[in-house]
Structure 1
């Protein structure tokens, strides 16, 4: 029931927004009582926190699996992470939308748990860039922190426009992003 409650809440938060969705909306959607809600969550804020934690922890777990692979080059690792981010939006678009759009509604206490995890994800991407520079696999004339923020900005905002059943697949969008990053957009 807890997982179902989270899934339906994600749908409501994505559709109506966190502030505009009441606990009553959530329980009505599931045809349960408020008591059922409070059995699993102390508050709507705690529910939002659980959604955020699940999302970012799964992203970090996938990312660290890619990082640990000693058989792939840094460009391949970067491509895999870009693909995972875009693919995740295809797979869990509403969860990504809630994560990015509704983070502003987390309490300071909850942000103190989420922000270090979000920063860790960013630092892992930056580490790939920096190690790729050291290995001569990426250009050394671009600051790794700005490159990292560019990658994350590009991929994270795709939740807003990417349509999984649209003209381009997640794999194609990730390949385009990767080519833009690694090869640039200037004609040769």
Structure 2
């Protein structure tokens, strides 16, 4: 039942927003009582935090796997991370939307945990750019911090408009992004 409550919360938060979804909406949609909800969760925010943690921990683990691959150069690793982020938006569409849109509904303590993990992802991405600069794969005159923020901002905003059932697949969008990125930062 815990998983059903969790999944139904993702559906309802994704469709209606966190603030507009009450515990009563969740339990009514499942045909259970509030007591059932409170048996598994202490609050609606606890579910929101769990959605955030699962989402960010998943992409951190995938990022680490890409970074650790000794058979890829830095351009390929950047490409793979962009593909992975786009695939996550496709596969975890509502969770991605909730992650980016509903962050402001977390308490300060929870928000700081998410910011720490989000910064960890960005810093690792920035370090890939810096290593690529050192190896001559990327221009040496880049501001790696701004480049990382720009690339991640471009990709992360895709949750807002990307339609997995639309005319472009996640891979196609990722290829367009990587073409824009690499032709802007590739060494001459």
Superposition TM-score, scaled by structure 2 size: 0.96
Aligned to 2:171: 171
Query: 1:8-58, CA deviations, whole angstroms, 9 ceiling, x for partnerless residues?
Result: 111111111111110000011111111111111100111111110011000
Query: 1:60-101, CA deviations, whole angstroms, 9 ceiling, x for partnerless residues?
Result: 000000011111100000000000001111111110000000
Aligned to 2:8: 8
Aligned to 1:80: 80
Aligned to 1:130: 130
Residues 23-62 of structure 1 aligned to structure 2 (within 5 Å): 23-62=23-62
Distance 2:164 2:45 in 1: 30
1:156 CA drift (Å): 0.5
Distance 2:86 2:100 in 1: 14
Superposition TM-score, scaled by structure 1 size: 0.96
Query: 1:111-170, CA deviations, whole angstroms, 9 ceiling, x for partnerless residues?
Result: 121111010010111011010001111111110000000111111010010111111111
Distance 2:145 2:4 in 1: 38
SS of aligned partner of 2:180 = helix
Q: Write out the 4+ residue segments of structure 1 that deviate beyond 4 Å after TM superposition.
A: none
Residues 1:148 and 2:160 are matched in the alignment: no
Aligned to 1:108: 108
Distance 2:133 2:174 in 1: 21
| RMSD of aligned Cα (Å) | 0.8
SS of aligned partner of 2:20 = coil
Unpaired runs of 5+ in structure 1? Answer: none
Distance 2:94 2:70 in 1: 33
Aligned to 2:66: 66
1:103 CA drift (Å): 0.3
